[in-house]
Chains A and B, each alone.
Chain A
Amino acid sequence: MTRRPTAWHTATVVDVRPETPTAKRLDLDVPTWPGNDAGAHLDLRLTAPDGYQASRSYSIASSGDGTRVVLAVDEVPDGEVSPFLVHDLRVGDEIEVHGPLGAFFVWMPPADDDPRPVQLIAGGSGVVPLYAMARAHAVAGDASEFRLLYSVRTPDDVFFRDEIAALAESGAVDLDLVFTRSSPPEASFPPGRLTAERLRDAVVPAAHNPRVYVCGPTPFVEAVSRWLLDAGHRPGDIRTERFGGS
């Protein structure tokens, strides 16, 4: 496997659209981008006129060999960078990005006939790299079993809602949505936080030897990791990516 080179690039914003009430989907054109694997992230750096710089990491929703990079940025209250990206960024603006990054937390279609199932577990905007993996799996026509357990506050907060629904409908991904604050009328469960029991019922059983990817805020990742170990999954089979707010 040849690793994609990591470098600083100039990205031009080609589209900005609402993703959720607090998030925007950003389409970037990055002519020097070498492509990225599903699950990768980039560091985005902003420079103020006095030279002050602020940098934050964002997971990439897109994958493959192209030069178009899609991000989904959720506004962090009192944040320094995300409010600028969500409210002030305009089509045509140029920003610096560093990537692709994340050689550990990526998924690629198995090179051999590896039938291991894949379990994706997302908390909030942690779904972005996992959505990239689910999409890459569908695009590649990969035959492994893919499940996505996605914990989110309300139906309005679902990222890539249409795309994820399409992946579920086509059978590419088994989708389990957990609404923690309010749920739609057709939901099978009342709203509530994800629990060890709900997780155990939803995920691929440990006996089936899945690769597990967990992404979300640190407390979510810590709790889910503990429950997975309690349910018999091996530490080496679980890959995690935590993020903090800013």
Chain B
Amino acid sequence: MDVLDGNALAGRLADLLGWDATDSLIRCRSCGDGGAVARVAVYVSAMGAVARCRSCDAVLLTVVDAVGGRSWFGMPGIDALEVRRA
């Protein structure tokens, strides 16, 4: 199973947030490493997508899609996600 990067989350996050978050900035709560969502390591499986910090492997974000249009967007490892309106 290959590790991808945050570009692989673009569609899922756009479905959840209504906008493409790949160039939004986040910072790892564990080690402080920061950068665009597109740069993080992303593990995708049928369980969901798990975004991890490339420096310390801490889980930053999770996306779980259930049936019936329900999804969960977890942000266990970041303090805030930058929102770009323009």
Contacts and interface: CB of A to CB of B under 8 A. Distances in A.
The answer to whether any beta carbons of A and B sit under 8 Å apart in the complex is yes
A10 interface: no
A103 B2 contact: no
A103 B5 contact: no
A242 B14 contact: no
B86 A244 contact: no
In which size bucket is the chain B interface? 20 to 34
A102 B20 contact: yes
A218 B11 contact: no
A77 B81 CA distance: 37
Contacts, number: 75
A240 interface: yes
Interface residues of A, number: 27
B38 A105 contact: yes
B14 A98 contact: yes
A67 interface: no
A41 B20 contact: no
Interface of B: 1-8, 10-11, 14-15, 18-23, 36-39, 44, 84, 86
Q: What 6 pairs across the A-B complex have the smallest Cβ distances?
A: A104-B38, A43-B11, A101-B10, A244-B2, A104-B23, A104-B22
